[in-house]
Chain A
């Protein structure tokens, strides 16, 4: 019942927030729901009730990790949004908060669903819930961004549904489209249809993840959406889409199709890395830069899925780290936008002096996102590279390392330019109130901690998640 509450409560509150006439309570309502959601998720960690009925909604290791990312990032974003909405020039709090809550409900559905059709419905709902948020500023550029986002996402979602149908056709015994049954009866799945299902699901959920070459909506969307929304998308939405893909890979691996899925996953992953590295070099806009960083990390996740084994553990860990740090860095960039009115890097200089907390978080975020120690992404990327070497894919690991280096150069150039330097005369400062700073700080701090120490509870869960991806029992 807790699971149902985690989904329905935000949805109901979203409807209430939309209908309620008063404006003052809405932000507090948002915060309250976000806090309740975090509490609920934490209690799931505590109870560790893996033997729950394998029904349409249930908790498994990977789903719990995704749910945690969604929950924590959402809390930080809602905390930030309280102050953000006051500073924003466009009134639209009602739409903003209702859609945020709707997104939370949909994302929780994706994380908790064990029926492929429910996963799909959740993904469709997230797409719809985010569209008005992307269009927040209501100018021509955001119109273009939201249009591209909707068109590409809807085609992706349609193809994902097509893949889901193929999956249903491939199944011979057991309850239709239930993950547990699919994995258990994997030997009897029809291979031809299963492969067709995988192709379509890869394209569909890959579009939502933002894997290249299906990523063209990402830079525009992340660039035009308000920073907290972009952070939510980069942190939570991509994790949900990855979950859809991961569930498919779990079924494929159980059906001994690992050799079939490896080439496309590697191909998309490498293309993502190459494209993101290439487009980061000449980039001038901070949020678009981070969009390409998101593409890069999705590529890493795809490659990790393809490698399997220890790579799957790395994927789960990377999912966690990436989600948290993206939330953090986008919120920091949000502060930069509040400071200078635009996310164009050339318009801002010397953030470290004008807004010290933000500047520090930007530097930390830069190092974290590019996979430097002591942050958590270093550990996860190291694990993935190690598994690549171990599996004999030395060329893959070397290519990845090269591209990581290029990415570092591209990102550092832009971010350090923003952070350091002397601010122009007359440049404003930002009162770094608690809501604007606490969220990103906590998220970044978590990533730092994960780089140094992984608590045994988390370790256990990650191993379970990896086993599920490797085809064992979830």
Chain B
């Protein structure tokens, strides 16, 4: 049977697809929370020689990525009274296809990167594909909250990549979690200032809301 950390990483990819394909914001946040949960379990699965450092990292990640930020996001949805994402710049179907292409690309590039040995052969491709998919969601979606979820996915990908280096440069991964501070600031900004969509100087963009 596959090692546990590989299963976790595969599930991470599936949550990425979930975020790409869904239109309901609450569904998206649930996917991000699920991803946070998987990521919290990942350090323990990768480095079973349990040390205080690893356990602390897992608990910290769990709290930040799977509890605090999704909670903030859910509050933001309620405040902003937004339920659904409208048709994004490149369409949901195209997003899914691009996401699958990103995964394929990551798996294809990784052998050519001459990376040092990592505990799992799937770690780097999943990290790369998650970064690409995060960027995809961030740049092609209209609602500010979806863009924040995209940013969360982006930093999750970076975090996974950092885990591959965790043995050699221990505190580097914690530094990555600092990125979550940004995400927290965004969400606060959205809530406090009711930023619903990305700012667009063309008012004609507002007409597309009537379609939904």
Report the separation of the CA atoms of residues A161 and B175 in the bound assembly, to the nearest whole angstrom.
9
Contacts of A151 in B (CB 8 A): 147, 151, 186
**A162:B158 contact, CB within 8 angstroms:** yes
Is A193 at the interface (CB under 8 A from chain B)? yes
Report the separation of the CA atoms of residues A148 and B178 in the bound assembly, to the nearest whole angstrom.
20
> Please, how many residues of chain B have a CB less than 8 angstroms from a CB on the other chain?
33
Interface string of A113-126 (1 = CB under 8 A from B): 00001001100100
Known: A147-B195, A157-B182, A158-B151. A165 touches B115 (CB 8 A): no
**A165:B154 contact, CB within 8 angstroms:** no
Known: A154-B151, A155-B138, A168-B172. A148 touches B114 (CB 8 A): no
Contacts of A155 in B (CB 8 A): 135, 138, 151, 154
**A192:B189 contact, CB within 8 angstroms:** no
Minimum distance in angstroms from A165 CB to a CB of chain B = 5
CB proximity to B under 8 Å, residues A157-174: 157-158, 161-162, 164-165, 168-169
**B176:A161 contact, CB within 8 angstroms:** yes
Known: A117-B172, A120-B175. A150 touches B185 (CB 8 A): yes
Is B98 at the interface (CB under 8 A from chain A)? no
Contacts of B175 in A (CB 8 A): 117, 120-121, 161
Contacts of B164 in A (CB 8 A): 169
Contact of A161 among B114, B171, B179 (CB under 8 A): B179
Contacts of A144 in B (CB 8 A): 199
Is B43 at the interface (CB under 8 A from chain A)? no
Contacts of A169 in B (CB 8 A): 115-116, 164-165
**B158:A168 contact, CB within 8 angstroms:** no
> Please, how many residues of chain A have a CB less than 8 angstroms from a CB on the other chain?
30
Minimum distance in angstroms from A91 CB to a CB of chain B = 19
Minimum distance in angstroms from A187 CB to a CB of chain B = 16
**A161:B193 contact, CB within 8 angstroms:** no
Report the separation of the CA atoms of residues A408 and B175 in the bound assembly, to the nearest whole angstrom.
43
**A176:B186 contact, CB within 8 angstroms:** no
Report the separation of the CA atoms of residues A388 and B177 in the bound assembly, to the nearest whole angstrom.
42
Known: A120-B175, A128-B185. A161 touches B158 (CB 8 A): yes
**A168:B199 contact, CB within 8 angstroms:** no
Contacts of B25 in A (CB 8 A): none
Interface of chain A, main secondary structure: helix
Contact of B169 among A124, A146, A177 (CB under 8 A): A177
**B169:A176 contact, CB within 8 angstroms:** yes
Contacts of A121 in B (CB 8 A): 175, 178
Contacts of B135 in A (CB 8 A): 155
CB proximity to A under 8 Å, residues B158-201: 158, 161-162, 164-165, 168-169, 171-172, 175-176, 178-179, 181-182, 185-186, 189, 193, 195, 199
Report the separation of the CA atoms of residues A196 and B161 in the bound assembly, to the nearest whole angstrom.
13
Report the separation of the CA atoms of residues A351 and B157 in the bound assembly, to the nearest whole angstrom.
53
Report the separation of the CA atoms of residues A379 and B175 in the bound assembly, to the nearest whole angstrom.
41
**A165:B199 contact, CB within 8 angstroms:** no
Contacts of B193 in A (CB 8 A): 143
Is B131 at the interface (CB under 8 A from chain A)? yes
Known: A117-B172, A148-B199, A161-B158. A124 touches B178 (CB 8 A): yes
Contacts of A165 in B (CB 8 A): 158, 161-162, 165, 172, 176
Report the separation of the CA atoms of residues A147 and B162 in the bound assembly, to the nearest whole angstrom.
28
**B199:A147 contact, CB within 8 angstroms:** yes
**A196:B113 contact, CB within 8 angstroms:** yes
Report the separation of the CA atoms of residues A148 and B189 in the bound assembly, to the nearest whole angstrom.
12
B186's nearest neighbour on chain A, judged by CB, is A150
Minimum distance in angstroms from A115 CB to a CB of chain B = 10
Minimum distance in angstroms from B105 CB to a CB of chain A = 14
**B168:A176 contact, CB within 8 angstroms:** yes
Is B112 at the interface (CB under 8 A from chain A)? yes
Minimum distance in angstroms from A192 CB to a CB of chain B = 5
B116's nearest neighbour on chain A, judged by CB, is A169
Minimum distance in angstroms from A50 CB to a CB of chain B = 26
Is A83 at the interface (CB under 8 A from chain B)? no
Is A256 at the interface (CB under 8 A from chain B)? no
Contact of A190 among B114, B162, B176 (CB under 8 A): B114
**B179:A158 contact, CB within 8 angstroms:** yes
Is A463 at the interface (CB under 8 A from chain B)? no
A190's nearest neighbour on chain B, judged by CB, is B114
Report the separation of the CA atoms of residues A169 and B115 in the bound assembly, to the nearest whole angstrom.
7
**B131:A150 contact, CB within 8 angstroms:** no
Contacts of A146 in B (CB 8 A): 189
Is A131 at the interface (CB under 8 A from chain B)? yes
- Beyond contacts A127-B182, A154-B186, A158-B155: 6 other A-B pairs, Cβ-Cβ < 8 A, are A146-B189, A155-B135, A155-B138, A161-B175, A161-B179, A177-B169
27 example contacts (A-B, Cβ-Cβ < 8 A) are as follows A117-B169, A120-B175, A121-B178, A127-B182, A146-B189, A150-B186, A150-B189, A151-B186, A154-B179, A154-B186, A155-B151, A158-B151, A158-B158, A158-B179, A158-B182, A162-B131, A162-B158, A162-B161, A165-B158, A165-B172, A168-B165, A168-B169, A169-B115, A169-B116, A176-B172, A190-B114, A193-B115
